[in-house]
Structure 1
Amino acid sequence: MAFCRPLFDPGGRALNQRIYLIGASGAGVSTLGALLAQQLGLPHVDVDEHYWHPSDPPFQQARPVEQRLLGLKQALEDKPWVLSGSMDGWGDAIIAQADWVLYVDTPTPLRLQRIRSRERQRFGPRILPGGDMHTQHLAFLEWAAAYDGGSRAGRSRPRHKEWLARLDQPQGRIEGSGSMQQMLDQALAIITGPC
């Protein structure tokens, strides 16, 4: 792929880029973030690592906003980075440092399929009927399915659309129904600009 705006200096180091990726749960935001960071030789930080207190089962208790922000600032430092995950409503100071905001837009049936697959892989029989995470799993799927209509608290298409419209940073939309390689190619094409 020929880049129109250089991503690397003559020594092969990534030029200063701070890229923030968002989207619905199951859209592929974290996976794409990790791949993009690897491609550019930049650190990747996922918001969930700083949002939730470690627990078993996971995702039970959110950290206070001040702790999340402190953890993220320490992880990101004052360097280029790729950051993935939802921070609208509480992470504005960090988002303001981004050079690019990329929105991963993936159809809901595919997102739900990815979530089911991911949760089976992570938790196995714990999410099945009788498992200690079954109720949590079903509630999460129901919440994720409501993204398009915005009928639940948290992330939603209407909320993301409104939030993106208020941002000053350059933005791009990634079509999330393709392969991860296709999504990566889209992201690189966006941040290198039109030829």
Structure 2
Amino acid sequence: MRWSRLHVVGASGSGTTTLARAVADAWAVPHADADDYYWLPTDPPYQRKRPVPDRIALMEQVFLPRAGWVLSGSMHSWGDEVLARCDAVVFLTLDPVERMRRLEAREQRRHEHGQSDERSREKFLAWARGYDDPTFDGRSRVAHERWLATLTCPVLRLDSALTRDELRDAVLAWTARS
């Protein structure tokens, strides 16, 4: 394995966390999710952002100095210092209808388990629908594509309509031959 610090990114609901965990397990390295550093712990979750310097400092304490790790989630507007340590990036895409179907099912499960209230759930889903709108002012496909074009490390693009195992195997094969 040439690359040992991998960032897996894509729209919410595209499977970044699932794939990152699978690759981390295969490599026997830690998995980290950007949301765990971006958000302060609140009940319900995802209500207050952690200041950027605190995010980076926490990542530094938890996993950045390690020789290998897999990081899921988006950091294109705040994580340049972390991205400078990445050996490669995997960008997941998914048909918008399927992505929203997955997200709505996930958010319904979270809601049923008391992990979100109805207002927060609807606000999040409305935000997530904006990803594929080229005029959306937030995390979007257009913003991701612009950010990807600035990267100097290798980028693998995958359609996450594939199964988790197929995606993991594609990443493992890509990293093994590079």
The superposition leaves residues 133-180 of structure 1 with CA deviations (integer Å, 9 ceiling, x where unpaired) of 112211211111110124333310000001100100011011111211
Residues 26 and 112, structure 1, Cα contact 8 Å, conserved in 2: yes
| Paired residue total | 177
**Which structure is larger by alpha-carbon Rg, 1 or 2?**
1
Counterpart in the other structure of 1:87: 75
1:143–1:152 Cα contact (<8 Å) kept: no
Structure 1 150/139 Cα, relative in aligned 2: closer, same or farther at 3 Å?
A: farther
1:146 is paired with a residue of what secondary structure? Answer: helix
Share of identical aligned residues, percent?
36
For 1:172 and 1:118, how far apart are their aligned partners in 2? 26
Matches within 5 A, 1:138-177: 138-177=122-161
RMSD: 1.8
CA-CA distance at 1:16 after TM superposition: 5.8
1:107 to 74, 81, 95: 95
In the alignment, residue 100 of structure 1 is paired with which amino acid? A
3-state DSSP of counterpart to 1:78: coil
Of 170, 174, 177, the residue aligned with 1:190 is 174
- Say yes or no: does 1:75 pair with 2:75: no
- Residues in 1 aligned to 2:103 and 2:16: alpha-carbon distance in whole angstroms: 12
Give the unaligned 5+ runs of structure 2: none
Please list every run of at least 4 consecutive aligned residues from structure 1 whose deviation after the TM superposition is greater than 2 angstroms: 120-123, 150-154
Gapped runs of 5+ residues in structure 1? 1-6, 8-14
Normalized against structure 2, the TM-score is what?
0.92
- The answer to whether 1:51 aligns with 2:24 is no
Contact 2:111 2:118 in 1 (8 A): no
Distance between the aligned counterparts of 1:125 and 1:42, measured in 2?
30
Kept after mapping to 2: 8 A contact 1:19/1:102: yes
Q: Is the 8 A contact 2:3 2:88 kept in 1?
A: no
